[in-house]
Amino acid sequence: MEYPDFTEEFYKFLYFELQEVWQPVITQENRIKTMPIIILGTSGMGKTTLAKNVMKKVESWYCQKGVCPVYTNEVSLGELMICAFNIRRWLGTRFKNLPQVYVLTFDDATAVPVEHEEVRTFFSIRHEAEKNTGVKEGIVYSLFLTHDWYYLHKLFRRYGYLAVILSVPPLDTFARRQVEHLLGKDAVTELEELFRRAVKEDKYKGTGFVRFPYIPEGHTTNVGKIRFSNVDTPYVKIISDKTNPEIFVDPERLELHIPAEQKKDEKKEELQKLQEEQEKQRRWSREGMRKLRERRKKQLEEARRRAEDAER
């Protein structure tokens, strides 16, 4: 079976029109939108790469509203949410304005146990965002990256809006049956062939299948391919603290990842600002000296006139 390319449809599904989220009428109603996405794939098949593609796309859409991408593969879901919604406490210089769009990436979602209370909190995440930030309008994207479909919490499997499958674990018959149910046998067979090739050649990575909750306009199926490539984008990474098991975040446990090119641009911008400031100070200095000379000249003329008047 020939599957359509749903890459464009995938990003269309993720995008919210500005007027849908931010409305001119002030209201007490919580209008925060949510978008939970599950990404399944074995190690090295591009789960994190796809997450970075989503981060970069969201940044390009809503940069004027403030975007906060937070990533972790070490701490709990609860700590991830706490960090994201309180990011300005620790990185206020980076996030001067309160972000209104969040991309929460919970990598290796089956390695860190998820407490029942965290699950309950996650499913009221828009209220959690409002409680911590005071924001009533915005978007929260939640990406669950996993290589194990069975151990992923059943509520995430049940209520995820989208499922992106990059590969099927070759020895996991349970996962294969579940993915067959989602995508169909033909898609699983193609995924297995892609995995076999990708193990040896990287050029076969960056392709997977996506399943929509509806059939996109102009198509006859809700299952199609998604393609992506390596990108680099800024994000905040949370690191675990083995000595402190409590849910707590401090600046030392936050890594701000900035792409090399962006670092160069920021250094160039910083240098330019410094040069402009120095030039401004030089102008002020030249202007000050000119005014000082004029003031001294006036003082001398005034003294000369007083001396002439005294002689008369």
What distance in Å separates the CA atoms of residue 46 and residue 29, rounded to the nearest whole number?
38
Nearest to 143 by CA among 173, 166, 174: 166
Tokens coding 142? 């939640």
Domain limits of the chain?
Answer: 7-258, 260-312
Phi (first) and psi of residue 35, to 5 degrees: -150, 85
Q: Is 247 helix (H, G, I), strand (E, B) or coil?
A: coil
Helix (H) / strand (E) element for 143: namely strand 139-146
CA angle 300, 292, 297 (to 5 degrees): 20
In one-letter notation, the amino acid at residue 71 is Y
Percent helix, percent strand, percent coil in the chain, to nearest 5:
50, 15, 35
Positions of the chain with pLDDT lower than 70, given as ranges? 25-27, 92-94, 241-253, 259-271, 274-275, 278, 282, 284, 312
Per the rule left: phi > 0, alpha: psi between -120 and 50, beta: everything else, 206 is: left
CATH of 7-258, picked from 3.10.50, 3.40.50, 3.30.70, 1.10.3470, is 3.40.50
Distance CA 170, CA 101 (A): 37
